[in-house]
Amino acid sequence: MMWLGVDYYPEQWDPGRMEEDLDTIVDLGCNVIRIAEFAWHRMEQSEGAYDFSFFDGAIAQAKRRGLKVILGTPTAAIPAWLARKRPDILSEFEGGRRRAFGGRHVCCYNSPALYEYSEKIIRRMVEHYRDEEAVIAWQADNELGHEGSDLCWCPRCRSAFRKYLEEKFRGDIEALNETYGTAFWSQEYNCFEEIPLPEETITTHNPALRLDWERFRSKSIGDFLAFQVRLIKETAPGAVVIHDFPGGGLDKHVDYAAAARPLDIAAYNNYPVWGGQKAPLPPHAIAFELDYIRGLKRRNFWITEAIMGAQGHDVTGYLPRPGQAKLWSYQAMAHGCEAMLYFRFRGAAKGAEQFCYGILDADNRRGRKFAEVQSFFADIRQYEKAMTAPARSEVAIVYDYDSLAAFRIQRQSILLDCHEEMKKLYKLFYDRNVPVDVIPAEADLRGYKVVILPQLLLVKPAFQARVRAFAEGGGTLVLTYRTAVKDEDNNLPIGEAPPVGFRELAGVTVEETESLQEAEAFSLLGQGDFAGREGRGGIFRDMLSVQDAEILYRYGDAFYEDRAAVTRRRQGAGNVYYLGCGLDEGTAAGLAEAILKERGIETLSSPEGVEIVDRGAGEDAVRLYLNHNGHAVFAGGKELAAYGCRIERRAAPRT
């Protein structure tokens, strides 16, 4: 079922507006509304005084109009009475300063009080609505880990972190000392109570300690989400539970793929532009984030907040040009979204989000934005079968939360941003209209023809065994610089040279390495199939000695001309590539084209700024032409308006 709707906050308006609002929502073309996610006080104005009558009325009004409902648990914003009664529920900034009540996400995820009071309101709420046929899903909390809420430095977290370490090392402090190498700087601990949080100090904390802190922070949030999912499903067996993940998930101190495991559906709040940005994210970066969300559970996802107007809390952002936000909605559907709700029905007139403009503004007039959403809903529902079919890819980019955390701990180059490096690799395929899955290292690699492992710094033997099986089975594997350098505890293995565990597979050894502070610091000279080509490299470089691989590029500077920069080792029906440095876009594009050709992966050419995506199968198959340009272009033999989308049934074979 394709759900199309809006986020509606009737508690923020005069109740007399509700009937008119819901009539307008129906006229818009909606079949669902999302409500109640920030309304704890409305449902419990004082401790134990539960009153759901307001939302009973809202749901009854929605039902009369044929609208379904997504109900949100309200735990992202606690009521003032709870903060006053239990100030220990609030999280703390680094240094011990308590976060003030008044924002959102201000609670500590290791607070017993948060669990206690959350369980009370959730249990009563789910018991009250578990037989309500209009409720099609429950949203657990809101944007967990967002806006800095993924970190807390309070005494409860200090105690919980020490307990986490004690359990990990089975009470053996000497095992922790040995693993962390605490003999360095005389950091040996006599007991777990001596272990600090990695707060501000002179120079830096132990990298192994900091990695376990990252894992602990992730577990704290994941546990709270899993607690809510269990509670909802215990109280309402068969309930569909979702969570709305924010953007930038790969930069959070929480592993969203792990957090998403107990959910039925991963949802996403898609903001291609936010306050203070001069321009939206590039189209490939928007697509990358969509594919990342789909990869959390490797299935289609929902969007619970789609942008239509300008956005910003204190600084207002860029206004999407006419048709542009509508195009982003089509793009989301193209990448596996099967439910689309806009944030918000009407922009707030009071409170912190007054400049997060909605479909309607405070003037309450039906204008351009209303017409765009209405036309999108009318159009996209014609292709429901295609858009709810699984999205399929032959190429995958794999990330590892621990490796990303390790780079946050030790960046190694001021230019190295792992998230951005992934998007650069993604763009090589996006530009050729080749779909890509962005998946966690725990995901199954079977079924892919090409798997890319960008900067997977940490060696994890079980994962490496799966990667070797993929390559030995004929898959094409792409390794990059700074892959398989450190062990699972964020230490350098003794007696091993990178890529640890992959040297035989790749046919190369990293003899030395250096960090560059330029993106194009040195020249590259093509060899073999790439003879005569020249390129530039930078950011980082591995000096590769070759044991059993073809050299595709050498370094062009005199000191390292005997070292390989890019190699390929034939492995059965596939190949193993090693990219020893950051590559300029032209050089990287040439390698991507070679990989696609050798694997028989079909591409589609399109004008610059035009994205082409195939969805569905058989008689339900469609092709979407998405024009991200602010001017008209010809694509597929027809003119496509600025920020326009055209959907054609029974797409032609990919050529």
- Residues serving a catalytic function are 143, 305
DSSP state letter for 375: H
* 559 CB-side CA count, 13 A: 4
Residue-level length of the chain: 655
The H or E element containing residue 438 is strand 436-440
Query: CA nearest 88: which of 111, 60, 63, 106?
Result: 111
**Count of Cβ atoms closer than 10 Å to residue 631 Cβ:** 9
Q: If you write DSSP's letter for every residue of 156-172 in order, what string do you get?
A: HHHHHHHHHHHHHTTT-
* Euclidean distance between the first and the last CA atom of the chain, given in angstroms as a whole number: 32
* 582 CB-side CA count, 13 A: 22
Note whether 28 and 377 are within 8 A (CB).
yes
Task: Give Cβ neighbours of residue 186 (< 8 Å, ≥ 6 apart).
Answer: none
- The three-state DSSP-derived secondary structure of 100-135 is CCCCCCCECCCCHHHHHHHHHHHHHHHHHHCCCCCE
Phi, psi angles (nearest 5°) of residue 422:
-65, -40
Distance CA 414, CA 402 (A): 19
Distance CA 182, CA 175 (A): 10
Sign of the C-alpha dihedral, residues 112, 113, 118, 123?
positive
Q: 634: buried, middle or exposed (CB in 10 Å: 19+, 13-18, 0-12)?
A: exposed
Taking CB atoms within 8 Å and a gap of at least 24, the contacts of 648-653 are 648/622, 648/623, 649/621, 649/622, 650/619, 650/621, 650/622, 651/614, 651/621, 651/622, 651/623, 652/623, 653/602
The H or E element containing residue 296 is helix 283-297
Phi, psi angles (nearest 5°) of residue 352:
-75, -10
> Which residue in this structure is represented by tokens 């039906």?
366
Instruction: Summarize the chain as % helix, strand, coil (round to 5).
Output: 35, 20, 40
Instruction: State the Rg of the chain over Cα.
Output: 26
The type of residue at 653 is: P
The type of residue at 543 is: M
